[in-house]
A and B are shown apart, each in its own frame.
Chain A
Amino acid sequence: MKKLLILGAGTAGTMVANRLCQLLDRDEWKMTVVDQHPTHYYQPGFLFLPFGVYTKYDVVKPKRDFIPYGVELIMAPIEIIEPEQNRVRLGDGRYLDYDFLVIATGADIHPEQTPGLAEHEWGKSIHTFYSYEGAQALFKHLRTWKGGRMVVNVVDNPIKCPVAPLEFLMLADWFFHEKGMRDQVELIYATPLPGAFTKPIASKLLGGILEQKNIKVVPEFMVEHVDPDAKKIVSFDEQEVAYDLLVSVPLNMGSEVVGKSGLGDELNYIAVDKHTFLSDNYDNIFVLGDAAAIPTSKAGSVAHFAVDTFGENFVRYTEGQELQPLFDGHANCFIESGFGKGVLIDFNYDQEPLPGRYPLPGVGPFSLLEESEPNHWGKLMFRWMYWNILLKGHELPLPAHMSMNGKWLSKQAA
């Protein structure tokens, strides 16, 4: 029996387990998944928790429910990966050896990396929605918040779901309107980027939407420390932004075990081929999802398209054939913009987001880079699709590769 070991039962690891379970001959392969946390979170739902749109029942389910029959799930911390010995040591001292290893240990927030952030004001005037506990605490805080200056700050890139901070601000605009106190709230976005988003056309269009909603962007703001007593964030080049409520997106880093095992870069992400996910250094290690150092968004949609291309490629590889450069960096993200509307973007390594219609050219129902109601329904529908289709490794009626059909190049100059 050949042994396939998957580290991490989050979005990417669970999808890999389900997809390979369908593709590999179960008489020849033993598949094992390791994870230390029993709960699977629908992370895109964290965005909605602070505003009471979702509750915990929408975003929390047991991981075990999504691991297919016949795949062994071991609940234990991972101590170290020993790639030279083709084995992994668990926290309880057990060794697991493998023929092929899939690392899907994801990324997490590290507020302790920014001085002043996670100290005595953490959970009081300083919050985050980038964790389940954080989003729940912020929900409680917002229920009684009297208003003032709310600053959303991204510490550094890359972060999971790079559009989430924008969505949070636009939902906040809607939320405070509904509460009849928008005029008592100032909304500010302090970001290390030169504008609202990374890619020029989307940055311009999204920047325009923020402006309409009276959300102020402070660009090129790289936070050095937080002064929790004076309630201000201070940048490396000594700019200051004062706040009454700071909503931080702390530094995102890959798993500690990756760094400890000598596999990661300075943020504990692992260097892989960006089209095949094969490790640069080991020919039997693949890295899927947020753990990989590839220049695409750290998001479930990317992991989904990635797993779509990875499955067949992996089977081919184990049969002694060459890997095909199948993954094109395809991402598509619904961006919730408040008041029952949303924006959709669709892009890859080479093509930045453009306006248009998706998935049917000219028809939609979704509009690219434009606010519309169907985009909002798409976002809400996505939660059902995530739990019932994506995680279980079923195919979506959407191609893994990005298509230029339905995208409007002529508007590029606009």
Chain B
Amino acid sequence: METLDFHCRLIMDEYREALPVLEDMKNTVLARLNDALGRSGLSVTAVEARVKTEESLAGKLVRKGNKYATLSDITDLVGARIITFYTDDVDRIASMAEKLFEIDWVNSVDKRRLHQLDSFGYNSLHYICRLPDCDFRFELQLRTTLQHAWAAINHDTGYKSGIEIPQEYMRRMNRLAGMLEMADDEFSRIRTELTDYRRRVQTLVQSGRLDDVMLDGDTFRSYLQVGSIDALNRRIAAINQAEIQDTPLSRFLKVFKALKCNTLGDLDRLIKQYGDDAYLLARHQLGNTDLDIISSAIGLQNICIVCILSTGGGKIGLERLFDALNGHNTQNGALAELTYEQAKNLPFMQNNK
């Protein structure tokens, strides 16, 4: 503070007086950003805001105090930052911010566009914004997680301006910035291609071209949405007028892979082939109980059981099924024994004898 001249000390006094207003402004900005992001459904890494500390402001005034006539000339007294997963989202959130705040276009800067064709470095979009009826402006920084990592590490070195940085160090940091820019672009491309892939799969599933779709996590989910398993579950629930509790079904994917289902067509045929027997097994098990709650896993579970027993997998096959579904467990042997005993007199087992 001793190094501040009279003019800068006046600005510091003004700052101390304005602190409650700045704090309110920070909270309002943060609330508006969180609200808008929540409504947009965009997922981001972080939304943060801060009021500039007295120490940081004093440092700024020491470096370039003459640039500011009054406190309100300083545009980053309140700073907000949104860190996104994808580079495309920076632009989406920028357009969202343009609707939320009044943008000071003269002082806003897209640092991503400042680089020459052969240079790399700090990448971030900085908007200088204003809330309605507020004397002070604030800075909104938008960047990706990788850009943020680069900026944070660069800042950690303690250099405030590019001039001070030793050439060799600057070259290595810029080399990393170039590499991270490529990684950001690749992450965005992967997201776009995955979205296209999911759309294509949904189209194929809806048009019934199931043999054209390889079985994987995404396609399995799409297939389950078609509803043939829901129909089987509802049929089973009707035995005791039971309520169906939703449970995750993704663990069945590896079982169907082990049962040689390579495409959704294979899976669909297997479900159609064993669906009726899966229902009979459930009716046999639940029919003389008063259990009126079942899991949404029951249909797939019984299809796997029937498939294994119908194809001669026996108790060992069932134990392997339960190992795959429940994790390896000493109880699975007993479970296999019990299931086999319950199923052994059902019609699909007679065909197997």
Chains A and B form a bound pair:
no
